[in-house]
Amino acid sequence: HEPVLRPSGLKSTDACLPPGSSLPSREFGDWSTDDLSQVLFLPPRSNDKIMEGQCVYLGLACFRGSQPLVSVHSWSVQDWQHETHAPILYHDARELEHFKGVLHIPYAWSTLAFWEFLQADLVILVPTSRFFMELMSSCIAWGPWVCEALGRDVDTFSLWFQDFNYVSFTADLEYAEWWAPDNADVLVHFDSWDDLKYLVKNTDWEHQRTRIRKHMAKHTAYTLDRWRQLLGVEKNESWDEVGR
């Protein structure tokens, strides 16, 4: 399992921004910049749709769309089952810098957004591998509100994960970016809902961002060195010269 060569240090939208331009102004609901420092951002994926309701159930301030849930009773099973991707509310991860952090329920082994979030110094909270498997298995792990919302469909509950196979999945889980040992220091893992509430309240966010910056500086240097080896580029040769 060799590390995948990724364009570390680059962001998917950088090429679209003219040199010297600033990020577009972005509004997130009715929250001010100061308010956002107490809010967790939820990515626009279906697993995070259920997390939107869970935030209300746990009493956490989370944002996933322009119309935040008022109560778990307004959470729709039909919307969750049919929505694979919510409308994108940002074009560059750096636009999320004022949020407390990103709260995510993984849906794939590897995503470009993972690296974009880290390059933008965003703190990412995800369940531990043990708790994730518990959340995958039954609506009970989420609390009574999910099972009640599902009604007769309670036995059909399942989260979505790319190429999920229970037997091989549990054995190879550490190769997913969310649970890889090499990434343990830059992610905040919660092992229960009570643990999540504790971490949201007690995490040293600035210290965590410092760890992320140090980790990503090393990761960028390592990845660029791998690319130099692959392309036969000398260390003293600039990437601009390579492009020409």
pTM: 0.81
What was the pLDDT predicted at 113? 85
18 φ, ψ to 5°?
-60, 150
What was the pLDDT predicted at 239? 54
* Helices 46-58 and 193-202, axial angle in degrees (round to 10): 80
**Quick check: 231 and 225 in contact, CB under 8 A?**
no
Q: What is the CA radius of gyration of the chain?
A: 19
What was the pLDDT predicted at 14? 42
What was the pLDDT predicted at 228? 84
**Quick check: 46 and 80 in contact, CB under 8 A?**
yes
For 65, 94, 192, 196, 206, the CA distances from 44, given in Å and listed in that order, are: 8, 16, 22, 20, 25
Total length of the chain: 244
How far, in Å, CA of 230 to CA of 228, rounded?
5
Q: What average pLDDT values come out for the chain (244 residues) when binned by 10 residues?
A: 42 46 64 82 85 91 75 69 62 85 89 88 94 87 85 73 60 82 93 97 95 91 85 69 53
